Amino acid sequence: MSAAAGLADRPASAWAPLRTAVYRNLWLALLAANIGTWMQTVGAQWLLIHHSNASTLVALVQTASLLPVLLLALPAGVLADSFDRRHLLISVQLFLVAVAVVLALLTLTNRMPPALLLTLTFAFGVGQALTLPAWAAVIPELVPQDQLRSASALGSISVNMARAVGPAVAGVLISRIGVAPVFALNAVAFLIFTYALVRWRPSNARAVEVPERFTAALRAGGRYVRHSPSVRRLLRRALVFVVPASSIWALLPLVASRRLGLSSGGYGLLLAALGVGAIAGGLLLAGIRTRLSANQFLLVAGVLFTAALAVVGTVRVVPLVLLALLPAGLAWVTVLANVNAEMQLFLPSWVRARGLAVYQVFFAGGQAAGALLWGVVAEFVGLVAAFLVAAALMLIGTVTSQIWPLPDLRSVNREPVTYWPQLHLAQEPDPRVGPVLVVVEYAVASERAQRFLSAMDVVRGARQRTGAMRWGLFRPAETTDRFVEVYLVPSWDEHLRQHGGRLTGEDRKAEERARELADGEPEVRHLVPAAAGRTLTDDRESL
């Protein structure tokens, strides 16, 4: 092997994406925005601590911030796949700047009752929810494919650095100059991110077709995830890890106060240990992946987190707990950054934001459900037992990664291709007309029939991921050498999108394997509703 080839085979270093100027500028600007977000959260909580029912109100700040992610992630993914992502991000950041300015002005003039503060916090969460899928879908456009895992890890580093820096800076500023300037600085931070987005001029801007209808796009995203075994396995793997791992975030305050006798400063030290481990994990991810396969990597990370849970839950020695939290933070970031990068690599551009939005729902929902679960378990059986149960679940989930391993996606061609022949129709249907029944007839010799059936099973997945609601393969009883494929698409517009770039290189290979087993070119027909002007809505009403 030549030296050049050897260098090409090496994975990207943790810092490699930052050598790309556009990504570096956006990453630094997003870091500033993340710090501003944490400052805003601390400022909002501080405004509420002197009110009656302060404990409930302070907790509602987190709820108001995170609830929009669960409610709006999927619609946000639809918007990010339907419109220019850069323009969408700029518009949303300007909205966030406006919310932060309103927060600062109303706080400065002492016109900020709790209900209004929580409403504006929710509005800020809406902006964050709209940002997440679009930003995640943009990253593959900013860095080379071999640097995606490093870029995902750098995203995690940014979040953890902001979590460490933001609250500390906010605490100092609030004690010196009050809450209103903290909100104003948050507006400045998002202005910086907006400016970086405005300066970014994509050289290969994604071509945006006529946007899909919102509900149709939402269903298309759900259909893709439902009929993609690789995406479903990645989502399950994230959930199996997040639910037991969330115990450490949910119960660590109780460990600090009840078992270790620490003050709020001590609790901050425990969080800092998790953050340091997380940052180290982001930096070490590239090196770890050179030595371990994806599934070996999951095994090691799962065992580390299992041990950390057992130590944190049973040991009362502060230095030992701090040491245990370091590998926990490392495992947390490396597992989730790896799964996130695999999702970004696998999802085709037309549905990438929607697929990543589903991942965010699983991630946020898993954390929320896990936190509630472990809180209830700790209430009934105690902290030690809750941590031991979480450790046992983590270990079981880690073992399942070897029984149901992650798919190897390195050789999968996810580039969009347009290879179906141009349509020649006697009449052009209205795009809203539907459903549309596509009929494809193949001539297949009997000795190749079994191999053809196996090949068409793979084709079925491509049809269903890209638009088919129903799919079937039939044989006419009158002959032995014919197969008829039929699939139902919601509308003519949806079928045109199959022709226009929803299919990938991997889908093309699957279809070509099936067609190689057939004699000649298949005969394709498109059946639309017989009544002129029938639309999908009309057809549903008649069923």
| pLDDT tens digits for range 284-342 | 776 776 777 778 888 888 999 999 999 999 999 999 999 999 999 888 888 888 888 88
Average pLDDT, the chain: 84
Give 392-445 pLDDT, tens digit per residue: 999 999 998 878 887 777 777 778 888 888 888 888 888 888 899 999 999 999
DSSP 3-state of 183: helix
CB atoms within 10 A of CB 437: 16
How far apart are alpha carbons 100 and 97 in whole angstroms?
5
DSSP 3-state of 465: helix
Q: What are phi and psi of 272, to 5 degrees?
A: -65, -40
How far apart are alpha carbons 106 and 87 in whole angstroms?
29
Please say if the pLDDT value at position 540 is more than 50: no
DSSP 3-state of 484: strand
Amino acid at residue number 448: R
Confidence of residue 535 (pLDDT cuts 50, 70, 90): very low
Q: Cα(first)–Cα(last) distance of the chain, in Å? A: 64
Average pLDDT over residues 205-225: 77
pLDDT at residue 532 in the model: 52
pLDDT at residue 32 in the model: 93
What is the DSSP secondary-structure string of 62-77?
HHHHHHHHHHHHHHHH
Please say whether the dihedral angle defined by the alpha carbons of residues 290, 292, 293 and 299, taken in this order, is positive or negative.
Answer: negative
How far apart are alpha carbons 521 and 514 in whole angstroms?
11
Instruction: Report residue 530 CA to chain centroid gap.
Output: 41
pLDDT at residue 402 in the model: 79
